[in-house]
Structure 1
């Protein structure tokens, strides 16, 4: 467990028309940047186990709360959370620190942003490390429609788009319960229930499995979402089809060396054609669920640092 007071103090950086809350460490390692991109519904604090390990290995670590999260700006327009804006924030962050390019590490939605950033701004990314969410090829149908066809309208991806505001309100009424019930590990398998799974989770009296983090760690996430609410972060999902259109004309191949880390009990499906789109990829699978870097911090750090070392050899 990590004491929240040990996490770097934030600074506020103006980029791309917004202000980002950025947690920076290892300034003595300037010239060797790694940017950490959190997922949903998370916070830069989700990288608390990785920051000291990366600094000790000689990296300048930059971990923003991306737009919509924590104390970063929360624009009101839904379209201001599309992949052009999200990747533009990261490019502007590199400019702010004086870097041409960096290694980007993403988890969950952060991984989707890193994949998109690498397609849209390939010259700004030198290496890619993504956790949980593999590269998603465009296919023939916009993604929300595709997901609806495959898993139905109760999928949270579909629900967030088709019923805007409904889930946000439930999460905001049950912030502590939702996050406590969500951040679990070693959950026993159960029959799927009718309805939208995350709404059910936010209303469930008792959590399942074991807690992923200490009460003090959980309080960081709860406090952040009590301040920000959930709408801004859910707006990322409301741009999934827009992103599908925005990526229509870019080269779909990731040319950078990449490391893909899966949890073998993660609900997110592994890619069956990853190497077709990410030819220079190495895949590591850890014995864990979705919250990979928090559930298996040592193994995650080991996989990341070993791979980075091989790349620089």
Structure 2
């Protein structure tokens, strides 16, 4: 198995931890909440063994990367500048960008903001949506037909509240968070803050069912015991500020080779949310995984790796 190497770089005013494996054309993996570079471990080794240079940072606010306290430091303008700075620090002109959850939002924005640095984009679960002046947390609340009290993004905006719940028992938190497709109902409970505003975890049973091993969960538990959840929560707290950005990219179309992978049992980032993408990204490859929940690259690594390697192979990129 390919060795995973670790280093620190300076980018966009922060110190960033980066894991990488292999040599060849670079592929940058951007994780979401509440994850780490580690959520891409299966992809790092598979792509390295196929002749690519796989790069997975702890994104701003996570793991061993700096976590500024101000939510204004987590807008898409800032987060994409982090990724451009990552390429600069590694001496790379372009890369393929792969993103999941919040990382998916970043990689689609990279195509708008830094098209010259982006060779292709792969999104997992998170659809591309043209830039809008609507506030992100309000737009998604309304899409799901929920209220401020029953939509997790709005619950996360209250300073200290979500931190207190998620950090009360971090091991229990990750057993409840990392649920597979058979627990889609529990994932909806998370999204709806228990259905009554009681908390994202309060009404999810603590039955220790997860698709991750105890050893894998321990990696997340160890990292978050050091950092807490504030850095990741700041992505939500900064999200509505994107609507206020002057001279933000307009879209609506995105002209870059792309692939979108949806998951049938993700009840937050629903597959139907990606339905308009072929009209917005000409030539996009659309893929769909049945019996798959939100944590796609960790729950279904073999299928994700196969799709990634097929797509990368179609681009004719140089390999080591």
In the superposition, the TM-score normalised over structure 1's length comes to 0.90
Are 1:309 and 2:295 counterparts? no
d(CA) in 1 for partners of 2:197, 2:282? 36
Aligned residue number for residue 8 of structure 1: 4
* Superposition deviation, residue 311 in structure 1: 2.0
Deviation by residue 1:116-164 (Cα, 9 ceiling, x = unmatched): 1221111111100010111123456322222333321121111222x22
Aligned residue number for residue 124 of structure 2: 131
Gapped regions of structure 2 (runs ≥ 5)? none
SS at match of 1:48: helix
CA contact (8 A) 1:11 1:23 kept: yes
In the superposition, the TM-score normalised over structure 2's length comes to 0.88
d(CA) in 2 for partners of 1:245, 1:101? 29
CA contact (8 A) 2:175 2:206 kept: no
SS at match of 1:284: strand
* Superposition deviation, residue 307 in structure 1: 1.2
CA contact (8 A) 1:119 1:250 kept: yes
Are 1:148 and 2:141 counterparts? yes
- Cα distance, 1:188–1:83 mapped onto 2, change above 3 Å: closer
SS at match of 2:293: coil
CA contact (8 A) 1:174 1:202 kept: no
Aligned residue number for residue 289 of structure 2: 286
Gapped regions of structure 1 (runs ≥ 5)? none
* Superposition deviation, residue 14 in structure 1: 1.2
d(CA) in 1 for partners of 2:140, 2:250? 23
Aligned residue number for residue 171 of structure 2: 176
Are 1:276 and 2:272 counterparts? no
Deviation by residue 1:172-231 (Cα, 9 ceiling, x = unmatched): 11211111111121226468542348x3426745237x4111111111111111111111
d(CA) in 2 for partners of 1:307, 1:142? 33
d(CA) in 1 for partners of 2:241, 2:94? 26
CA contact (8 A) 1:129 1:258 kept: yes
Are 1:159 and 2:155 counterparts? yes
- Cα distance, 1:159–1:247 mapped onto 2, change above 3 Å: farther
CA contact (8 A) 1:87 1:113 kept: yes
* Superposition deviation, residue 301 in structure 1: 0.5
Are 1:107 and 2:108 counterparts? no
CA contact (8 A) 1:20 1:67 kept: yes
CA contact (8 A) 1:181 1:202 kept: no
Give the 4+ runs in structure 1 shifted more than 6 A: none
SS at match of 1:187: helix
* Superposition deviation, residue 91 in structure 1: 0.4
* Superposition deviation, residue 89 in structure 1: 0.9
Computed over aligned residues only, the root mean square deviation of the Cα atoms, in angstroms, reads 2.2
